[in-house]
Structure 1
Amino acid sequence: MRYSSEHKQQTREKLLATSGALAKRGGFTSTGVAGLMKAIGLTGGAFYNHFPSKDDLFTEVVRQELCNSPLARLASQGASRERLGRCLQQYLSMAHLHNAEGGCPLPPLGVEIARADLAVREVAEHWLVELHKAWAATLEDEALAWVLISQCVGALLVGRMLASQAVQSQVLDASRTFVEKALNETR
């Protein structure tokens, strides 16, 4: 039975969304094609109607997740320094720390992106360079933009590595204080 191109596109979008959520929750490489397809109610064989390989799916997952992240939306809207500060305070929150599936893809997928094929790393690099350009323009400081990107992603990653909520809070509190101080001192 042939499906319409609209149905095929809807299935592809569902596969991308589900794969992104699964990857951020438990890792992309740990979930096989059969598991990804089962999550959307299809058989593993149907996967190849949508992507030539699992690596191609990961490239698209990374592209979609990065482009749909709150940081990307903030960068594309040309945020003020104050708005950037508010966004980073939300980014460095316990709510975000405990929502890996619905949050920024960099902390949960960063290691997998680093180990991935060149195509995946190029997608991530393109996005990070664009994010950096936007933040550097807002901050009028290229180095500070890289430092804040690294600080925020790193703080979330370290926080998720910790077992106790008290220590997680300490990491996030320290990072929020650092970000606020950095934003206020460079005016």
Structure 2
Amino acid sequence: MRYSPSHKLETKEKLLQSSAVSAKKSGFSTIGVDGLMKAIGLSGGAFYSHFSSKDELFAAIVERELDQSLTRLGGQGGQDCARLERCLQHYLSMAHVEQPEAGCALPTLGSEIARSDIVVRQQAELWICRLQESWARILESDSLAWAILSQCVGALVVARMLATPDIQRTVLASSHDEIGRQIAGRQQATCK
């Protein structure tokens, strides 16, 4: 059977999308090549026409997911405190806790990124630093941007570890309130 010239690109895109969802939902290391390919209706052998290894796929997922997180959370162009507040509200939400496959890759894949080779960690660092720089421009504070970024990721990880929705909500609300206080401390000088 002959495939269209765009078939290979479309298949690779499907594999990236499906693998990213699976990785954020269940962890990347828990799924084998056969399972990744089966999810898009292909055999495991077809994997190697798209990626030379599972590690190469993971690197592509990290780049793609962190680029999407940067677009959602940092964006390009005119950012302000009001937009940052909306992003934080969405990030620290029960919807984000309950749907890891649709959200930021840092809370779900962070530990796997930390155990990856230096190339993947450097790639993650590049995207994380870009997000931090975006927030630092808004807040006019490098340290506050790092603190808020770390607080958000940590709060989401802790909330997902908990079993009781009321306690999860408390963690998210407490984190959001504390971040709000931190931003308010800087807001008079930077976000008028």
Are the counterparts in 2 of residues 85 and 179 from structure 1 also a CA contact under 8 Å? no
Tell me the CA shift for residue 68 of structure 1: 1.4
Which stretch shows the higher mean deviation, 85-94 or 46-55?
Answer: 85-94
Structure 2: stretches of 5+ with no match in the other structure: 188-192
Structure 1: stretches of 5+ with no match in the other structure: none
Tell me the CA shift for residue 156 of structure 1: 0.2
Give the 3-state SS of the residue equivalent to 1:68 in structure 2: helix
| 2:82 counterpart of 1:58 | no
User: 1:75 — aligned with what?
Assistant: 74
Give the 3-state SS of the residue equivalent to 1:47 in structure 2: helix
Tell me the CA shift for residue 117 of structure 1: 1.3
Q: Which whole-Å CA distance do the structure 2 matches of 1:104 and 1:80 have between them? A: 21
Give the 3-state SS of the residue equivalent to 1:110 in structure 2: helix
User: 2:184 — aligned with what?
Assistant: 184
Q: Which whole-Å CA distance do the structure 2 matches of 1:72 and 1:183 have between them? A: 21
User: 1:168 — aligned with what?
Assistant: 168
Question: Which amino acid is 2:104 matched to?
Answer: C
User: 2:156 — aligned with what?
Assistant: 156
Give the 3-state SS of the residue equivalent to 1:5 in structure 2: coil
Q: Which whole-Å CA distance do the structure 2 matches of 1:107 and 1:20 have between them? A: 13
Are the counterparts in 2 of residues 96 and 103 from structure 1 also a CA contact under 8 Å? yes
RMSD: 1.1
Tell me the CA shift for residue 2 of structure 1: 5.1
Aligned ranges 1:24-173 → 2 under 5 Å: 24-69=24-69, 71-78=70-77, 79-173=79-173
Question: Which amino acid is 2:92 matched to?
Answer: L
Give the 3-state SS of the residue equivalent to 2:3 in structure 1: coil
Which stretch shows the higher mean deviation, 6-15 or 128-137?
Answer: 128-137
Tell me the CA shift for residue 59 of structure 1: 0.3
Q: Deviations over 1:111-154 (max 9, x none)?
A: 00100111111111000111111111110000000000000000
Tell me the CA shift for residue 85 of structure 1: 1.3
User: 2:190 — aligned with what?
Assistant: none
Question: Which amino acid is 2:85 matched to?
Answer: G
User: 1:13 — aligned with what?
Assistant: 13
Tell me the CA shift for residue 13 of structure 1: 0.1
* Aligned residue-pair number: 186
Tell me the CA shift for residue 166 of structure 1: 1.3
Are the counterparts in 2 of residues 94 and 169 from structure 1 also a CA contact under 8 Å? yes
Percent identical among aligned pairs is 54
Which stretch shows the higher mean deviation, 38-47 or 85-94?
Answer: 85-94
Tell me the CA shift for residue 77 of structure 1: 2.4
* Runs of 4+ displaced beyond 6 Å: none
Tell me the CA shift for residue 74 of structure 1: 3.7
Are the counterparts in 1 of residues 72 and 87 from structure 2 also a CA contact under 8 Å? no
Q: Which whole-Å CA distance do the structure 1 matches of 2:132 and 2:172 have between them? A: 22
Q: Which whole-Å CA distance do the structure 1 matches of 2:4 and 2:83 have between them? A: 43
